[in-house]
Structure 1
Amino acid sequence: MVPLNKIFDIQYGHSLELNKLEECEPSQGVAFVSRKSGENGIAAYVKKIPEIQPAAAGELTCALSGNGVLSTFIQNREFYTGYHVARLRPKYNIDQSILLYYCLCITKNRYKYSWGRQANRTLKNLLVPELDEIPDWVINYHNESFDSKNQPLLKNVDIQLKPETWKPFRYDEVFEIFKGFYNKKPPVSNKSSDTIPFIGATEKANGITCHIKISDVAIYSKTGKITDADFNGKLFDGNCITISNNGSVGEAFFQEKKFTCSHDVNPIYLKDKSITLNKYIAMFLCTLIKKEKYRWGYGRKWRPIRMPSSIIKLPTNEDGNPDWLFMEKYIKSLKFSSSI
């Protein structure tokens, strides 16, 4: 093991403020990398600043503080950074598979920076494997299996969102909103043909925290005691969206199959029965729902009693109703939609 600065030249990022930059479409600007833990750290795309040179593609970015501390990514295009983001330039010619391995090694140290600790001074001293200690499975990995996976389902289609034209709807105008089942989780089982997903208030794994036998769902009560077999209020059909109302409030995922969930989750279904909610429409809606997460900070809960009056803005058709076909086509026009 060696200190990180033996493998990478480490320097502080640009320390720019996004609210002072001009945002633009990805094809017209430079990636702006923040301390976020998802989406490769990219918070937006901004127009170039004449007097500031963007960082080069191929460098790594690492969040030095915040909830995403030590989130590390390879940047495949030139970029700017916000505050408390480090830039790591490889000192050697290193394959991308090995760089990804180093990203994982760095991120795995994040437990050392809980309770608000920052990595500004100590990042360079983190211990990582020396180049000759990289496992063979990393060195021999090839990503040909991902070739062409970035293609859209609808090619040569340019669909503009124009959100300024969208119409606001109450949630109860668009969705049927249900309460999750308040239960103490039945025994966990390995995934099999007789189990279903248990959806909890998490931001990972499509909301699935484990799998549970259907027979156990029936007999376990909300107190965790075994009772007579009863599925009342415990099972939910697929083709819906689950939203965390506590904990990771506002996390939204599409559930394609039957599931059970905790009371910290609101399953919602489209009221419009002329349309079947599919993964493309759901991805459009989930993105909008997640954009409302900031409203539920400081311990506020998005329980089913509050959700009906919440507002969601959606594109509409000529009749003023949500334009589900537009939403589906837009998602299908994006890169990687062929891999969804």
Structure 2
Amino acid sequence: MKLVRVKDLFDVIYGVNLDLNKLEEVSVNSPKAIPYVGRSEKQNGVTAFVERIDEISPNPPMTISVAGGGSVMSSFLQEFPYYSGRDLFYLKPKVAMSKQVLLYYCTALTMNKFKFSYGRQVNRTLADLLIPDITEIPQEIVNYSIDDTTGIRQFESLNNKVSSIGDVLGHQDEYDFKTIQDIFHMHNGLASSNVLVQPEKANEFLIPYIRPSKWQSTSYAGYVDIRTVPQNKVFPAGTLYVSTDGAGSHTYSYVSIETFVPNSNVTVLIPKQDFSLEKKLAYATLITANRFKFSYGRKPKGNKLKSILLPVL
């Protein structure tokens, strides 16, 4: 891949450098409201809306804001004029770039985050960071239509499916409750002493071996050969499971995204009736909400897990 320096594609400019505590915060609907972008990695970097000052020109729209410190290298496309705080740079394209190309570069810039820290800021080196040349951007991104309504329709459809189930979380007192064992068949996982765990998926026969984890993305303990494990310990994608051990991992529940084998500290929950994916995800949230009842010395195992009460969706 051909790489170029940031300064080859963008003008690197220090922002207006205004202190938020010296500005007047206003509602987003205020006639003179303007976004204030700080060194945050959330909400597109916007930390407040402030009243625009006629004497101070804002940073221009359709530029990329980059945090030089704080949440260093947090990079966002700003589509409207905006004010910014200290250690906030903006990148102005030297050539015409579409919105999707600018968003691509936001991702490319953020991926340099690992090179820096609170004590090692990006101020002096931003212009010389390497990013893909514009000719290297995949055509799928170049040709993607952000204004296509397909994604909006998909979101509306999904929202309609989950809204009625999600309503349970705020109105649980209106529903009947049953124990987990009344709603699900419960299956224990396979002890690590009974499997050969491999660190990488080297062939098509290797499937994930799942362990307790706070995050589903870190629950892969490795991979096991599907041909060498009991088939009643192999579960398909879309299966609900719960962590039953670990001080920082117990009670977290997820729905699998691929075929897997759970370890002995993971319990698989198979509904006694057909459940939609949305309902499984709702139950994963409801089970996780019981986490406060347990600790490393009081694990959600055996009868403790079986007796957890859940609303009947």
Q: Which TM-score applies when normalising by structure 2?
A: 0.56
Is 1:240 aligned with 2:244?
no
Q: Distance in 2 between matches of 1:22 and 1:308?
A: 47
- From the superposition, tell whether residues 210 and 3 of structure 1 become closer, same or farther in structure 2 (CA, over 3 Å): same
In structure 2, stretches of 5+ residues that fail to align are: 29-34
- Structure 2 contact 216–254 (Cα < 8 Å) conserved: no
Shift of 1:214: 0.8
Contact 1:60 1:89 in 2 (8 A): yes
Structure with bigger helix share is 2
Q: Normalising to structure 1: TM-score of the pair?
A: 0.53
Pairs aligned (count): 277
Residue of 165, 175, 181 corresponding to 2:171: 165
Give 1:259's aligned residue.
Answer: 260
Closer/same/farther in 2, CA of residues 13 and 309 from structure 1, 3 Å limit: farther
1:134 is aligned to 134
Q: Which amino acid aligns with 1:134?
A: I
- Cα deviation for residue 243 of structure 1 reads 4.9
2:116 aligned to which of 98, 113, 116: 113
1:72: how far off? Answer: 3.4
User: What is the CA–CA distance in structure 1 between the aligned matches of 2:18 and 2:285, rounded to whole Å?
Assistant: 28
Deviations along 1:227-282, one digit per CA (max 9) or x if unpaired, are xxxx398534554334566598476542265411345x6344266x23x3332223
Q: In the aligned structure 1, how far is the partner of 2:279 from the partner of 2:75?
A: 30
In the aligned structure 1, how far is the partner of 2:284 from the partner of 2:59? Answer: 32
CA contact (8 A) 2:39 2:74 kept: no
Q: 1:290 to 1:75 in 2, by over 3 A?
A: farther
SS at match of 2:278: helix
| Conserved? CA contact 1:242–1:254, under 8 Å | yes
Alignment match, 1:98 = 101
Query: Which residues of 2 match residues 81-230 of structure 1 at below 5 A?
Result: 86=88, 88-92=90-94, 93-113=96-116, 117=119, 119=121, 121-122=123-124, 124-125=126-127, 127-129=129-131, 133-138=133-138, 141-144=142-145, 147=148, 148-151=150-153, 152-153=156-157, 161=167, 163-167=169-173, 172=180, 180-183=189-192, 186-187=197-198, 188-190=200-202, 192=204, 194-200=205-211, 201=213, 203=215, 211-216=223-228, 218=229
SS at match of 2:105: helix
**Distance change >3 Å, CA 99–CA 284, structure 1 → 2:** farther
SS at match of 2:152: coil
1:120-168 Cα distance to aligned partner (Å, 9 max, x none): 64573551348xx323444673114994133122698986848543349
Q: Secondary structure at the match of 1:149?
A: helix
How big is each residue's C-alpha offset from its partner over 1:92-139, in whole Å with a ceiling of 9 and x where there is no partner? 44223432332233222222235x545364573551348xx3234446
- 1:9–1:91 contact (8 Å) kept in structure 2: no
Offset from partner CA, 1:149-188 (integer Å, 9 cap, x none): 3312269898684854334979847666665444275234
Seq. identity, %: 15
Match of 2:280 in 1: 282
Distance 1:277 1:94 in 2: 46
The 3-state SS of whatever aligns with 1:119 is coil
Q: RMSD between aligned alpha carbons?
A: 5.8
Distance 1:77 1:283 in 2: 36
Q: 1:181-234: CA deviations, max 9, x gaps?
A: 442752344453x44333354846595576542124x2xxxxxxxxxxxx3985
Partners of 1:248 and 1:80 in 2: how far apart? 40
- Distance in 1 between residues matched to 2:169 and 2:248, nearest whole Å: 26
**Equivalent in the alignment of 1:334:** none
Amino acid at match of 1:72: S
Unmatched runs of 5 consecutive residues or more in structure 1: 24-29, 219-230, 315-320, 324-340
Structure-1 separation of matches of 2:103 and 2:256: 30
Distance 1:110 1:50 in 2: 28
What secondary structure does 1:143 align onto? coil
3-state DSSP of counterpart to 2:157: coil
